[in-house]
Each structure stands twice: as structure tokens, then as C-alpha cells.
Copies of this chain bind each other. A is one copy, B any other.
Amino acid sequence: MLSKTSEYAIRALVFIQLQQIQNKRPGVIEIAKEIEAPEAFTAKVLQILTRNHLVQSMKGRGGGFFFKDNKCELTLFDVIQHTEGDLIFKKCGFGLTQCSDENPCPLHDKYDAIRDGFLQIAKAETICSLSQKIISGKAVLNRLVTMN
């Protein structure tokens, strides 16, 4: 469903937030290792995010990634918009270019419900809310539960 780019982006942001709570500012190498993504590619993904101000970065010694004013209240929708555009939230499940309520494909109603459900999740969940689930032990970021 989501591209690797989106997955890495979301996982990376959650990890950054988890670190920020501990007053740390992780760098690419640490982030990539934690989210189990390739280092150089993670750097590229983070570049997209910082360019679009979804997260902040600092160069140089002691640099790394962080949220300004502790603001991690960006929704998954915000992130996904930047990593794959919003076609994913609009496209017909049957592949028709002209699919609409007036001119529906045979899957229109049922698929729309599913896609809208996904949109609701994406708009409701934020990097903060996901992080919170991990902090409270209700979820994990990867196979190791790492809160150190």
C-alpha cells in the first residue's frame, strides 16, 4: 500500500520523536539502524522531510534531526502527501480514470469506503500518537523493543 519511502519516513519520524523525549537528537546512521532501513536511502528520505519542514535538522558536530518546539503533531496524511502525493487517497480501485459517483466502476462504493477508512486513519494518527503507543508499551517500532 504505502511505498518504502513513506514507511521509512514515518518510522524515522517516530524514532526521532522517541529520542527527542530523551533530549537526544539522532543522526542518519542511528535512525537507519533503528528503523532497519538502508543508511544512504534513509538520508534521502530525511532530506525530503526536512526540505518540506516536516522535521528540522542541524548540520555539523552534534547535529541530527529533531522537532522544533517539540512539535510532532503532524499527521500521517501530512507525511504521505510529501512522500507520495495524494493520488493514493483518490485513485479508483478499478483503475478507471473517469470513476465517480455518477459514473461508478463496479467496485466504486465498497472500495471508496475502504480508501476513506485509510484516509481517516492517516488524518487521525500523528507522529506523536504513534510514539505514545510505543512509550506506553502498546506497540513496538521494530522487532526489538528499544526504549533505551
Task: Report A's interface with B, CB cutoff 8 A.
Answer: 1-2, 4, 7-8, 10-11, 14, 36, 88, 91, 93-98, 103-108, 110-111, 113-115, 117-118, 121, 125, 129-131, 133-134, 138-143
Supplied contacts A106-B141, A107-B125, A111-B118, 15 more A-B pairs, CB within 8 Å: A1-B91, A2-B95, A4-B95, A7-B94, A7-B95, A36-B97, A104-B140, A106-B130, A106-B131, A106-B134, A107-B121, A111-B121, A114-B114, A114-B117, A114-B121
A-B residue pairs, 8 tightest by C-beta: A7-B95, A106-B130, A106-B139, A98-B143, A106-B133, A114-B117, A110-B121, A104-B139
Q: Is the CB of A1 within 8 A of B93?
A: yes
Some 7 contacts from A to B, beta carbons below 8 A apart, are: A10-B94, A11-B95, A103-B143, A105-B139, A105-B140, A106-B129, A107-B130
Kindly state the separation between the CA atoms of A107 and B140 in the bound complex, as whole angstroms: 10
Q: Which residues of B contact A11 (CB under 8 A)?
A: 94-95
- Across the interface, A106 reaches (CB within 8 A) one of B14, B91, B93, B104, namely B14
- Across the interface, A96 reaches (CB within 8 A) one of B88, B97, B142, namely B142
Q: Which residues of B contact A143 (CB under 8 A)?
A: 96-98, 103
